[in-house]
């Protein structure tokens, strides 16, 4: 029993001794840890998680890349929309221009056809006029054509042809109407610039007397007597001498070289003149 106890005590002692040693070592290590410098603590600190450190360091770069990607995608969407809209506008403008071009082409073709028709008609008209002139000045006879300086129903005097229109009162004309009739025949009312023309006017004032005369190309214009060719009257044969001219007054010829001023609206006979054909 004693030995056991002794052994037990010894055992216990040994155990306690061991615990004391262990306890003393632990306390010594704690004292050393507390009193150790910072760099020593860093050395003994556990290393951080590498994946967490990589994610922490890479997150800003990844965020920037995503931001750039989003900006690029947004710009692409925007410019795609803009280009699509511009392309649609250009397509519509091209179609409109094509339509306008077709219309212009059609109008050009129509104008070309009209010009060709007008040229054809003009040629035919010129031929007709030429033929008419030939027939008028050179009528056909049994022995062929014989040309005259004046057309039929026209009187030849000097270098001119005259046509006196001794119409009855129902068919007489005002001064303006008489001039239009002469123009329709390729002529005009008589203008007197030479003794020959004065004598011819007097000669063709057939059967005139008193107030029954023939219109010719002289009237009041701007307070002056003017010929229809724009020249002023220089020599006259008034019977009697008229008052200063007023607009609306025209002159008629009466035989015996008499000129009488009357209202242009009165209806009279008239005399036309045109150049004679040189044959």
Over residues 209-228, the pLDDT tens digits come to 888 999 999 999 998 999 99
Beta strand pairing status for 224-227 and 214-221? antiparallel
pLDDT (0 to 100) of residue 144: 72
Q: Is 155-275 CATH 3.10.100.10?
A: yes
Give the pTM. 0.54
Report the alpha-carbon distance of residue 56 to residue 62 in Å, rounded: 10
Place of tokens 């307070």: 223
- The pLDDT-based confidence of 50 (bands split at 50, 70, 90) is low
Say if residue 80's pLDDT is above 80.
Answer: yes
Contact 274, 187 (CB under 8 A): yes
pLDDT band at 131 (very low <50, low <70, confident <90, very high): low
Alpha carbon distances (Å) from 175 to 33, 172, 218, 244, 274: 143, 10, 10, 19, 18
Q: 219 and 226 in contact (C-beta within 8 Å)?
A: yes
**Which pLDDT does position 184 carry in this prediction?**
94
The contacts of residue 134 (CB under 8 Å, 6+ apart) are 145
SS3 254: strand
Domain range list for the chain: 155-275
What are the residues facing 277 on neighbouring strands? Answer: none
* Burial profile 51-80: b = 16 or more Cβ within 10 angstroms, e = fewer: eeeeeeeeeeeeeeeeeeeeeeeeeeeeee
Q: Which two tokens stand for residue 173?
A: 């004309």
pLDDT in tens, 139-179: 777 777 778 888 888 999 999 999 999 999 999 999 999 99
Residues 163, 155: contact at Cβ < 8 Å? Answer: yes
Q: What tokens were used for 243?
A: 């008052």
Model confidence at 4, pLDDT cuts 50, 70, 90, reads very low
Binned at pLDDT 50, 70 and 90, residue 277 comes out as confident
> Which region among 46-60, 78-92, 209-223, 262-276 has the lowest average model confidence (pLDDT)?
46-60
| Cα 37 to Cα 159: distance, rounded to the nearest angstrom | 145
Cis check: omega of the bond before 84, within 30 degrees of 0 = no
């Amino acid at each position: 029993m004693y030995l056991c106890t002794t052994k037990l005590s010894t055992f216990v002692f040994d155990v306690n001794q061991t615990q004391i040693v262990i306890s003393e070592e632990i306390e010594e290590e704690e004292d050393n840890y507390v009193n150790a410098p910072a760099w020593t603590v860093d050395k003994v600190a556990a290393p951080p998680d590498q994946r967490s450190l990589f994610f922490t360091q890479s997150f800003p770069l990844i965020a920037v890349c995503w931001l750039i990607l989003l900006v690029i995608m947004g710009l692409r969407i925007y410019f795609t929309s803009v280009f699509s809209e511009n392309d649609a506008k250009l397509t519509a403008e091209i179609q409109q221009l094509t339509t306008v071009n077709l219309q212009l082409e059609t109008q050009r073709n129509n104008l070309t056809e009209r010009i060709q028709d007008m040229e054809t008609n003009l040629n035919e008209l010129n031929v007709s006029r030429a033929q008419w002139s030939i027939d008028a000045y050179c009528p056909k006879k049994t022995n062929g054509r014989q040309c005259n300086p004046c057309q039929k129903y026209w009187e030849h005097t000097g270098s001119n042809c005259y046509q006196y229109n001794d119409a009855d009162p129902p068919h007489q004309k005002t001064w303006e109407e008489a001039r239009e009739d002469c123009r329709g025949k390729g002529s005009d009312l008589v203008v007197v610039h030479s003794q020959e023309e004065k004598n011819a006017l007097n000669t063709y004032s057939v059967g005139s007397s008193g107030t029954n005369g023939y219109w010719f190309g002289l009237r009041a214009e701007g307070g002056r007597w003017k010929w229809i060719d724009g020249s002023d009257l220089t020599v006259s044969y008034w019977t009697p001498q008229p008052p200063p001219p007023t607009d609306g007054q025209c002159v008629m010829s009466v035989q015996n070289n008499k000129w009488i001023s009357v209202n242009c609206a009165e209806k009279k006979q008239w005399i036309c003149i045109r150049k004679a054909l040189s044959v």
